[in-house]
Amino acid sequence: MTTQIGALRRTPWQTGWQPYVHTDLPTEFDFENSIVLFSGDYPVAFNAPAFPKSTTLSHAVVQPWSAVALDNYRPLIRQVIWEGDKKIFALITDTQGHLDKALDRLREKEHLLANKKACRDISTSFDTKGIKWVVCPLTRGETRPH
């Protein structure tokens, strides 16, 4: 038994005037007509409603146990990423070095590159001490993954 929010993996209602789930995106990025890849091993898709309707939302470098379920549509995701010129962003949970691991996996598996200094924190109703969400602009590498 515990009363520690992090151990319970539950979050109390943060304010009386905002929805239970809310996300404030950084204003320096334009997400209109972009691609946002939910990436890494922690939940991030709850942020989806914060993005413009023109944003293409998908997944990349997910948990190893769920990767098999995504294998059939991985080629379709890669086609959207590599056959267009839309801006690409990764949305990642930053906790205990996870951001670095997720960015490394994006580079190794998807050939998508990030400059960690360009990443920006987003504010969510689930931010807690030691856990935050980050959006990072990505660029396509020189070769498309197979």
At 90-111, the pLDDT tens digits run 999 888 888 999 999 999 999 9
Quote the CA–CA distance of 52 and 30 in Å, as a whole number.
10
> Which runs of E-coded beta strand occur in 3-131?
23-24, 35-39, 56-60, 88-94, 112-114, 120-124
pLDDT at 52 over 70: yes
Q: Could you tell me which residue, 16 or 12, shows the higher pLDDT?
A: 16
Lowest mean per-residue pLDDT among 1-5, 10-14, 28-32, 122-126: 1-5
Q: Which residue pairs from 69-78 have beta carbons closer than 8 angstroms and sit at least 24 positions apart in sequence? A: 78/110, 78/144, 78/145
Mean pLDDT of 48-59: 95
Tokens of 65: 């146990």
pTM of the model: 0.85
Quote the CA–CA distance of 38 and 40 in Å, as a whole number.
7
